[in-house]
Structure 1
Amino acid sequence: MSSSESVLKVLLVDDHILILEGIKARLDQEEGIAVVGQAADGLNALAQVEDLRPDVVVMDVSMPNMNGIETTKILHERYPDLKVLILSMHDNREYISQLMSHGAKGYILKDISVEEMVRAIRTVADGATYICRAATETLFNSEQSSGSAASKLTRREEAILIRVAKGLSSKAISNELNISVRTVETHRQNIKAKLVLNTTAELTKYAYDQHLI
């Protein structure tokens, strides 16, 4: 945000409408902050950033269509001066590390106070980095015990990766695990983002290399 602007423009990105509405209602009470838009996934966020040109994007990690990791990377490439603040329920070292390396300026958890959220928004808008205490502890305390590369994945993601490597389609995986195809696709996107892999062949090789199959 330039010094000539009096209002900090914020775009909220989360696939949970109640969370969006709750954050917007609270931020609307803050002097000097204006929520200029809301998006439910990364693709919509990209479109809204183009149209609205916000100063700060407050964004979740796990979303359909395009997750927060991929979206942050693209936003950083297209708009290097845009400040992205991650608001997530995931206290996960790999998420934090990847998002910060892809250009996020801050990482806060959804259980923090509204006052801290506002402080984080203003901090990143001013060009500094903000990581909440719990995320900071996870980031540094986990460095000595990161374990194998497979530990990057949750149990559900690992289960899906194993089935992808075995050649199962998303529909077959959804039937086997009793979850929706959309959920499977979201997990697949998250797995690719976490492992920085792009193709099914690469995922399969990774699974074999990690002795998952």
Structure 2
Amino acid sequence: MTINKKDISIVVADDHPMLLKGLFDELIENGYNVVGQADNGMKALELILTLEPKLALLDIEMPLLSAFEVVKMAKDKLTETKFILLSYHKEEEYVLQAKALKINAYLLKEDSFFTIERCIDKVINEESFFSPHLKNTLLRNTSDKLKQFSQLTASEISILKRIAQSKSSKVIAEELGVSIRTIDNHRTNIIKKIELSKETNTLTNWALLNKKAISEL
């Protein structure tokens, strides 16, 4: 489905003035309806909630609120805005966190404006889009991890989040009002579902490594 560019309202946010201006100017020159721009996460969130744009293009690392925090808060307010993240980061932890938050797209700042336009078209048509500069192995790994997360029960996710905060089985048991044995049984089940080895501290180390994504589950 083709949508007139003038009907695509967009908020852009980046704390680098030149990058923000460059993106704003490119979008305007190519016929998009840019309704607001922000140089920090808090302002971006206010614009999204007030203007309710179809799209928000957000730099991941901004003052006051990160793009991840903006998306989470906006979604808590039931916004229908779709999100495209812009970043220099190619690391798995960032892409996994974006996918865990069900963010529509992830672009790299090295991507061309042609790629940005392809991405906008995909997202507007309810599809996801990830930068062609991201390795296929990375995208497969993050998809596999999300599938593993989806197998966990609500109780297991609750426990996994606490493990990612470096809490011991004893502390988790006290917080949840259950026995340590119950927590250890859950840990065993989590290890099986996400296919980890049974070595001591393997689950804790894995949870700490994926802490940001786990926090979004």
TM-score range, shorter-chain basis? 0.5 to 0.7
Deviation per CA, 1:190-210: give whole Å up to 9, x if none: x8x55639xxxxxxxxxxxxx
Structure 1 counterpart SS, 2:34: strand
Q: Establish whether residue 54 from structure 1 lines up as the match of residue 41 from structure 2.
A: no
Deviation at 1:57, TM superposition (A): 0.3
In structure 2, stretches of 5+ residues that fail to align are 146-195, 197-204
Normalising by structure 1, report the TM-score.
Answer: 0.63
Q: Which residues of 2 match residues 31-110 of structure 1 at below 5 A?
A: 31=31, 33-110=32-109
- Residues 61 and 5 (structure 1 numbering): CA distance in 2 closer, same or farther, change over 3 Å? closer
The match for 1:16 is 16
The match for 2:215 is 196
| 8 Å CA contact 2:52, 2:80 repeated in 1 | no
- Residues 3 and 73 (structure 1 numbering): CA distance in 2 closer, same or farther, change over 3 Å? same
Deviation at 1:136, TM superposition (A): 5.2
The whole-number CA distance in structure 2 between the counterparts of 1:79 and 1:6 is 24
- State the identity as a percent: 25
Structure 1 counterpart SS, 2:61: coil
Normalising by structure 2, report the TM-score.
Answer: 0.62
Q: CA RMSD in A?
A: 2.8
Deviation at 1:19, TM superposition (A): 0.5
Amino acid at match of 1:117: I
- Residues 101 and 130 (structure 1 numbering): CA distance in 2 closer, same or farther, change over 3 Å? same
Deviation at 1:3, TM superposition (A): 6.7
Amino acid at match of 2:71: T
Structure 2 counterpart SS, 1:46: helix
The structure whose Rg is larger is 2
Aligned length: 155
The whole-number CA distance in structure 2 between the counterparts of 1:135 and 1:8 is 26
Amino acid at match of 1:102: L
The whole-number CA distance in structure 1 between the counterparts of 2:129 and 2:4 is 23
Q: Establish whether residue 140 from structure 1 lines up as the match of residue 159 from structure 2.
A: no
Deviation per CA, 1:17-47: give whole Å up to 9, x if none: 111000111111113x111111122211111
Structure 2 counterpart SS, 1:65: coil
Deviation at 1:71, TM superposition (A): 1.1
Deviation per CA, 1:78-132: give whole Å up to 9, x if none: 2342100011111121111112221310001000111101111121122111111
Q: Bigger CA drift: 42-51 or 18-27? A: 42-51
The whole-number CA distance in structure 1 between the counterparts of 2:86 and 2:28 is 18
Deviation per CA, 1:123-156: give whole Å up to 9, x if none: 1122111111223522325769x9844445xxxx
| 8 Å CA contact 1:41, 1:63 repeated in 2 | yes
Deviation at 1:77, TM superposition (A): 2.4
The whole-number CA distance in structure 2 between the counterparts of 1:12 and 1:64 is 15
Q: Which residues of 2 match residues 23-34 of structure 1 at below 5 A?
A: 23-31=23-31, 33-34=32-33
Amino acid at match of 2:19: I
Structure 1 counterpart SS, 2:140: helix
Deviation per CA, 1:50-89: give whole Å up to 9, x if none: 2222110001111111111111112222234210001111
